């Protein structure tokens, strides 16, 4: 277990979010796509605050996938800046007793593309919130689930493992991340897009036409009801 997670959060549920629709949200308002990503980052802060007030112990969000690097360079630069700002919200995270974590291609991996300034922000946020005991917010950046599983299997094989399920689980990017209870996918897309395929094997999925910048706390409650009713 990671030393930062020696105290388990009090919330029971693990909610995962695929934050889709920022660009389309902006386009319907005749705004540049970057404005949609900015609005999405602001709404993420609102959803994080709402989640911390509910029976949620873990909130994992898909910030940037391994496939997103092919987007236009200006858009990628803007998203990188937003993630630096997200990981810089340490005071707000501490005020809400939230620990922040990160999953993605390891920084020392030959495949890693996370810029050093984002790496520094990630490391600082993890260190500066490590003593909090509330909800764990995990940001998936430069993340792809197929790579994660392949990397876990490769490491298990190098360690002489028989490749059973436990051997894979404990070699995922964050072995302390529990199974997902409910996954939220916004903006009308009905797919899971290479996100937490191992961890979300038995999860309920809440698909919504709402774009991520407009997702509300009430819709978060709707997604949670899928878990609480089961």
Active site residues: 20, 68
C-alpha 155/C-alpha 215 separation (Å) is 38
Sign of CA dihedral 106, 78, 24, 210: positive
CB 182 within 8 A of CB 15: yes
CB 157 within 8 A of CB 121: no
Give me the long-range contacts of 171-177 (CB less than 8 A, separation at least 24). 172/103, 172/148, 172/198, 172/199, 173/103, 173/104, 173/106, 173/143, 173/148, 174/2, 174/101, 174/103, 174/138, 175/1, 175/2, 176/1, 176/2, 176/5, 177/14, 177/58, 177/60, 177/101, 177/103, 177/138
CB 129 within 8 A of CB 94: yes
Longest dimension (CA), the chain: 56
CB 193 within 8 A of CB 65: yes
CB 21 within 8 A of CB 211: yes
């Amino acid at each position: 277990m990671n030393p930062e997670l020696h105290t388990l959060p009090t919330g029971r549920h693990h909610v995962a979010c695929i934050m889709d629709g920022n660009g389309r949200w902006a386009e319907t308002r005749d705004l540049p796509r970057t404005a949609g990503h900015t609005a999405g980052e602001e709404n993420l802060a609102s959803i994080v605050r709402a989640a911390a007030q509910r029976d949620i112990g873990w909130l994992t969000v898909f910030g940037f996938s391994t496939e997103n690097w092919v987007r236009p360079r200006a858009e990628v630069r803007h998203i990188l800046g937003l993630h630096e700002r997200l990981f810089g919200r340490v005071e707000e995270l501490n005020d809400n007793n939230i620990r922040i974590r990160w999953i993605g291609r390891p920084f020392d991996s030959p495949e890693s593309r996370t810029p050093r300034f984002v790496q520094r922000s990630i490391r600082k946020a993890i260190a500066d919130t490590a003593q909090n005991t509330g909800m764990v917010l995990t940001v998936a950046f430069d993340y792809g689930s197929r790579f994660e599983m392949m990397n876990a299997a490769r490491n298990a094989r190098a360690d002489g493992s028989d490749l059973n399920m436990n051997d894979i689980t404990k070699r995922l990017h964050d072995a302390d991340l529990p199974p997902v209870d409910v996954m939220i996918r916004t903006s009308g897309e009905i797919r899971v897009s290479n996100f937490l395929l191992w961890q979300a094997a038995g999860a309920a999925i809440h698909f919504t036409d709402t774009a991520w910048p407009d997702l509300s706390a009430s819709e978060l409650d709707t997604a949670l009801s899928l878990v609480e009713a089961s």
